[in-house]
Structure formats: structure tokens, C-alpha cells
Amino acid sequence: MIHRWSDADASAAVASWGPAWGEALALRTYSARLLGRDPALVLHGGGNTSVKDLQRDLFGEEVPALFVKASGLDLAALEPEGHVGLALVELCRLRRLESLTDDEMVGALRRHLLSHGASNPSIEALVHAFLPPRFIDHTHADAVLALTHTAEGERHVRDALGPDVIVLPYETPGFPLAKASADAFHAPENAGARGMVWLRHGIVTWGDTARESYDAMIDLVSRAEEYLARRAVGLWVAAPDVSNNEARRRFVSVAPLLRGAVSPEVGGEDRTRRPMILRPLLRDDLRALLDRQGTRAFAVTPPLTADHLIRTKPLPLWVDAPAYDEPERLRAQLTEAVAGYAQAYAAYVARNGGRADVGGSAVDPLPRVILLPGLGAICAGTDARAADIACDITAQTLAAKALAAGLGRFEGLAEAQLFAMEHRGLQQAKLGTGPEPPLSGRVGVVTGAAGAIGSGICEGLLREGCHVAVTDLPGEGLDRVVEELSRAYPGRVVGVPLDVSEAVSVRRAFETVIGAWGGIDLGVVNAGLAHVASLADLSLEAFRRLERVNVEGTLLVLQALARHFAVQGRDLGGDVVLISTKNVFAPGAQFGAYSATKAAAHQLARIASLELAPLGVRVNMVAPDAVFSHGGRRSGLWQEVGPDRMRARGLDEQGLEDYYRSRNLLKSRVTAEHVARAVLFFATRQTPTTGATLPVDGGLPDATPR
């Protein structure tokens, strides 16, 4: 282990946080962050830390208090307020009870918060209360877990860490573990211990100071690593991520076939499954491990700690000998494998208590981690962050399992223990209990996204939970939009250079999006060009320039979407929204090239609505008028048309906007946000509609579709 403590940094933490929070909590926060920075110790909200200190009550008297990490927070980014304050004396009284349900424990913890609005404390808060040391650290160190997940786990721990460590068999986290830990700590034979290992769970260290507890953690985990290096055989040593073109090609071909199968069923007749985001874990070393004989025996086993269950499910899915070069056979293999996994999961639920209800909704039976020899791992999540967390856990887990297998037979938690923790309300609450945004898990591709309308549509989709591929011609305009949206919606934006008039560019762009998130659910065909000229003066080259983008570009994108939706399957369906124009229905003089080519694009979309309906895909059109700008970005259409229209009418820019506002029935200014709302109406499937055109023009009788 790398020892990261710095006295200078510790002093800086005290100087920064101490005046408001006190020296003890400042140092507690500093050392907690050090632990969180090392993925070999904790991952994504795992582990917990605490400090005991004095707190002044309303009477000005100093009373003992426990400050413990709030449930689910990430140690690496913890702030002082992330350690929730509780009345210590009242918590310690709970140790006298023989039992305590989860509801009773949560109620007791919340009653004794020092601030009624604080977050829920860690599930291990009572461990930190019942153990006397002032500073306590708990991690899920990979090396320690590798020792404990073997048939002779206790012996390996004692041999590796020495006599000054207490070893406890697995106990249910929460009150039972807190009682068992306190009893072991106070046993006469354990006097002087500097740490405790919970088999198949993790390690705890303590000290009178933050530095002392941190030192003990680094020392003991380092001993475990050294022991493994000496004793384990056939180890798989983690290596840096390596880009592998063949593996990525395979992922792009596998993901759309797999995505529908691993997306859970939801109510409603219009969409039968909620799309999941798929993220690949493509590493040469991981692929080598999966291709090695005997790996399946220890890879398809429970996670290293019950804390990971809500992210990865009890077991990964293993697919034998995937037929990567035979798409239909591969589809059959994946479908059969997922169906078998779901059937086995249903049997697991039945064996362990019937329905597995959490908050009134059953936990779905589909895998979150799929192991594919010759490719790597594919991880599924409700969004990119959840899928990335599953990937990180999978990488660490397979490395630790390989180490454990090097010591002997791998042994995970018993099935009943897995079930109890997977479906425990306190664990499921870490995933969040609020309603999901309507486009959660969906992937949208927006063409022409660097302009006013395109960027507005991207923002609207992102606000509703969509993952958005922002596509346009490469350059500063695209880069700027991607940067702005990525800051506001991290993890759900990818910028993809795309020339819609080039078939190769379209194909590569779609491969990039599928490679990022596993599939596509929504295509917004928005890219377009305008040109001002009378028919008498319109050059053939100018017309062809618009035709290539507005017609051929629309055709190429519609073709790519149609092919992808066919591969992805009817279970997920899909949506296409073409950004049309009022000029399809009410063309303007000197606007023949634009009106004619957009009318052709509109007609292609109408035909697509007929052809794609059997796939469960809906195709609709939005026809806006007079959108000038959005977020400081001028509409490309109006950059082309505006100057001519201003000259023709003797108006300045504001006057031109007023003119277009005054000509519609509602006297409304039409914005990119209005267009985005129309797109969202179709994308969120408010009505069973396809082949429709929704005007967004304030009311123009001549342009009303008929």
C-alpha cells in the first residue's frame, strides 16, 4: 500500500476546516479522503470512518458525540459535514438490547442526530459507537478480502496480519455486527489489538489519533498484500487499461444484441422494457483471465463484500464461447444465457423467501455483469454512472478473486446471507428512492447539435435524464457545446464529429455512440442547411449542396437508425424525431432550395414511420418557425437568411424578430426550448403517435399540416 499521509497536508486541512468544524473533524476528514483515494481500499461509497469528540448542547455543556460517515457518501470527496453527528451516550445504551430491527435502528439513529436535517448515518454507525477508540476506519481492502474468501480464510488472516488483529466470522451488518464487534473488542484475550477483520466483509482499524488509525490500516493491508505475493500462485496482476480495437469491435456488435435482453420489463403497453446503459470493461489482462481454463469456477461466485450486491447482483453471467462472427447465433446465445440467468434468479428468490420486494417493487432478475471470454466484461446500469460503478467493482473483484483462488478454493457468502443483504431496505436505499427521470437509461443522438435548435434539444433531453451524443461537423462550435453540456451533465454527454452527408462518417459516429453506452434509443435528425436565392438565380451547385445535407444526410441517418433498431430488437423499440420546418407546408419566396429539400426530408421521415412501426419504432416530425438563437448561439438558418430578410424589410435584428413574432396568431416568440419540448413530447411517448407533425410556430394558418 502507498502511505499517503503528509503532515503538511494534514496541517492545511486543519487550517481550512478547523475553524468551522474543529481540529478532530478536520483530521478525520483528511484521513478519510486518503483512504477513499485508493481503490484497493474502497470503491464508490464503500467503507466508513468516524471520530468521537465533544459537542456543546443547547445548555452550553460539552457532551460526547460520534461523527460518522453518512450512508453512501464517497470517502474520496468527503467534506466535514459528510460525517453525521450523533449523541454518543444514547447510542451506546442500545448495546444493552438483545435485538434491534432495521426500522428500530434507523429510528434510534435519527432520534439521536445532533441536527434533525442530517443525512442517514452509515449502516455501521453502531459499530463506531460501540467500539471505544476515538478514531475508527473501516475499508473493503482487496488484499484482506482475498484472504478471507478462502476455505481457510481465518488461518490466512492470522498468518498474514499477526496476533494483534481480531478475526470475526461473518455477521449481518448493522446491530448484530456492532454487538459482535464490541464483544470481541472487550474480550480479555484481545486486549491491545489494533484492528479487526470481518470475514467476507472487510477490515477495521483504530487509534487515538487520525494518523494512528490510518497507519494501522496501511500497515495491515500491506501485510496482506505481502502475504499474497509470497503464497498465492497463478496470480492475475492488474495492468493498466489497454485499448484493443478487436475487443471494441466485438463490443459494438454484441451490445445492441444484449441490451434489450438485460433491460428490465416495466409496466405499460407502449414500451415493455426500460433501457439500460452498457459499459465495457476491455482490458488485455482481464481478457487473458477470462480465457484461462478454470477461471469460471471462481469468477461466477458472490461478490467480495455484501456492499457490492446492489451494484452487481449476487453472481455475474458467464457466456461460453460467444459466436462473435455469427450475429444470429450470438443473439440466440445471449438471449438463452440471460433467460437462464433470470430463471435461476427467480429460483434463488423462491428458495429464500418468495417475493423479493423492496419499497413495493420487485427487484428485477436480470444480470448486471456479463463475462464474455474473448472480449472482457459488460456491465449494465440504470445510467452511465451506475454502469461505471459496476465496471470498477468487477475489475477489482476479479483481481481479488484470482488472488484468493491462488491460495485455494474460493468461498463467498452463503446464499441466505446474499439474499438478506441484496433485498435489505437499508442497502437498496443507497441507490436512491426518488422517481427516475422519464428518459433515464435512454441514449439519444442529435445531429446538427452545435446550432441554436440542436443545442436546445440536447439540453432538454439531458434535463429529462437522457444520455446524449452531441454531433455536428468538427470544430470550435461542437467543442464549445460539448464542454458546456458536459459541465452541467457529467457522464451523460459525448461529443461526436459527424458529417451527415458522408456514409462513412455516419457509420463511425454510430459505432462511437454504441461503444460509449451500448445502444441508441432516439435519433433527432436536425442537421440542415439554408440558402437564399430565387429559382431564376439558384445555382445547381448551391441546390446540390443543400440536397446532400438536407436530403441525403437525412436518408443516411434514418438508414443507420433503422439498421440499429432492427439489431437492438423490438423489446426496446425506438424513436425518431425529424426537425422539419413550416416551409414544408408554407414555402417562402427565394427559399426554394431549402423548402424543397426539407420537404423531401419530411417525406422520408413519413415513409420511415411506415417501415419502422413493426420494430416498435415511432417516427414523428416537429416543424418550427423563426428560431433565432439559443444560449448565445445564433441559428445557422438565420445566419444565412436573416441579413437578406432584414435588408428586404428595412429592419434591424430586433425588428426582424418582432416581425416574425407579430405574424403568428399567438404573437409568440418561438425558442429552441419550445422545439425541445416538442421533441420531448414524442420522446417520452405521451400518446401512441407516429407519423405526425407538431407545429411549433405560434400559429401560422398557411403552415398548418393538412
Residue type, 441: G
Q: Given CA atoms 207, 210, 212, 214 in this order, what sign does their dihedral have?
A: positive
**542-562 burial code (b ≥16 CB/10 A, e <16):** ebebbbbbbbbbbbbbbebbb
> What distance in Å separates the CA atoms of residue 172 and residue 177, rounded to the nearest whole number?
6
Q: What is the 3-state secondary structure (H, E, C) of 334-374?
A: HHHHHHHHHHHHHHHHHHCCCCCEECCEECCCCCCEEEECC
State which H helix or E strand residue 297 sits in.
helix 295-299
Q: Residue 283 in 3-state DSSP?
A: coil
489 has catalytic annotation: no
**Of 203, 222, 202, 199, residue with least CA distance to 151:** 199
End-to-end CA distance of the chain: 71
Q: Using N-to-C axis directions, what is the helix angle for 284-291 and 384-407, rounded to 10°?
A: 50
Phi, psi of 110 (to 5 degrees): -70, -35
C-alpha cell of 318?
458467464
Query: Which pairs count as long-range contacts for 505-508, CB under 8 Å and 24+ apart, including other chains?
Result: 506/556, 506/557, 506/560, 507/560
Strands 467-472 and 357-358: unpaired
C-alpha cell of 276?
439500460
Specify the residue for cell string 483481481.
399
Phi, psi of 470 (to 5 degrees): -90, 110
- Taking phi over 0 as left and psi of -120 to 50 as alpha, with beta for the rest, 468 belongs to beta
Beta bridge partners of residue 84, listed in sequence order:
68
**Of 257, 324, 254, residue with least CA distance to 565:** 257
Specify the residue for cell string 459527424.
498
State which H helix or E strand residue 377 sits in.
strand 376-381
Strands 522-525 and 443-446: parallel
Q: Residue 309 in 3-state DSSP?
A: helix
> How many other C-beta atoms are found inside a 10 Å radius of the C-beta of residue 132?
12
CA 540 to chain centre: 49
Query: Which pairs count as long-range contacts for 379-382, CB under 8 Å and 24+ apart, including other chains?
Result: 379/278, 379/279, 379/280, 379/281, 379/312, 380/262, 380/263, 380/276, 380/277, 380/278, 380/518, 381/276, 381/277, 381/279, 381/311, 382/274, 382/276, 382/277, 382/436, 382/440, 382/441
C-alpha cell of 80?
466535514
* Among 324, 348, 594, 660, the one annotated catalytic: 594
Beta strands in 528-644, from DSSP E residues, in sequence order: 574-579, 617-624, 629-630, 633-634
Q: What share of the chain is helix, strand, coil (3-state, %, to 5)?
A: 50, 15, 35
Specify the residue for cell string 459505432.
511
Q: Helix H segments across 100-174?
A: 102-111, 125-130, 142-148, 153-161
DSSP secondary structure code for residue 80 in this structure:
G
Q: Which residues are catalytic?
A: 594
